[in-house]
Amino acid sequence: MFKITRKLEYALIALRYIQGQSEDKVVSAKEISGVYRIPLQLLAKILQELSKHDILEATQGAHGGYKLKKSLDQMNLTALIKILEGPIGIMDCSIDTKCVQLDICNIRKPINRVNDAIISMFDNLTLSEITGI
Residues that bind ligand SF4 (CB under 6 A): 9, 91-93, 99, 101-102, 105, 107-108, 111
Q: Is 71 in the site for DNA (CB under 7 A)?
A: no
Q: What would the DSSP string read from start to end of 25-54? A: --B-HHHHHHHHT--HHHHHHHHHHHHHTT
Name all contacts of 35-44 with Cβ < 8 Å and 24+ positions apart.
Answer: 36/10, 38/10, 38/13, 38/14, 42/7, 42/10, 43/10, 43/14
Contact 49, 83 (CB under 8 A): yes
- Tell me if 11 contacts DNA by CB under 7 A: no
**Residues binding DNA: number (CB under 7 A):** 27
48 near DNA, judged by CB under 7 A: yes
The reply to whether 18 sits near DNA by the rule CB under 7 A is no
Residue 78's binding partner, choosing from ligand SF4, DNA, its own copies, none, with beta-carbon cut-off 5 to 8 A by kind?
A: none
Using CB under 7 A, pick the residue from 58, 90, 118, 130 that binds DNA.
58
